[in-house]
Structure 1
């Protein structure tokens, strides 16, 4: 379902580009500060990176649409309560685990230009998990669901062909894939992230 929504988002972006007043393409690179919001994970943000491509579609003086395709590296760390909740299936009991998740992210952002060089941005990001951290559990079960939808909101500054942006992301769904029978209590996991990036218009 999430893959279908992501494909629909791309198609809508292409259709919007066909009727836009202006259109540009670019590439970006940046940092992704992330954590998993859940009882069994550390509350500290950990650093990763993101890289990809974007299109900027303008519909007038203020409004626009910005679809993107990003490779996103997301990091997190379990805390001691992870082993209390999932002790029956966790690998290396008593050891804190670094969690490394790679996503193909497809943001579709609505933009509003408040000043000549500043855009406000908000919209969904559809994430497809490329790896499932197989070493977290000892029973071969995938600890994380294969996809996620995140709400992004932030701002972007344009300087000639360059753009600098900052966004905050709130995961909307529970990415915990561990069966309820393997846990001693209910534990919801949701992605949270801060994206900081630099892009350049190529076309």
Structure 2
């Protein structure tokens, strides 16, 4: 089985490839000749995931899945949420995003947050969605060099280290994307 993963983020591809069974060949956007920016104009994480998967299915004809992830901070009413990648501007800089978030969190005692990933799958002319959530907190200073995005400032509930301090295998097991992808894999295995 071949499936397109509708992302250009090599970190996401690496993370997801580690979770997908060997009988499923993951194709990147580059592999199918898609070099344009896929629109993400929805106002929800689920909406963006569906929009990206639908775009690839309609324009390129491949069965595919796409994900969208947001960091939802309780004291900021769920922000940055759907705007997580562009929180500090269109340049999509993880450093700038973390700096802005840490500034906004100064003097806040409630540091609860959660990562939410929604995966949208188009398979055999049917659409499915899967949601993974990982609860945790925003720490005060960046820690760790692994991962990407907000990983250096997010500590999952029940752990002493941030996502950026964890081995990828542990992050995949407890993390939001891993939870959503394992639901996707369950469905794919049931169809195989």
Which protein is richer in strand relative to its size? 1
Higher helix share goes to which structure?
Answer: 2
For the criterion TM > 0.5, the same-fold answer is no
Q: Greater relative contact order: 1 or 2 (C-alpha under 8 angstroms, separation 6 or more)?
A: 1
Say which one has the larger Rg: 1
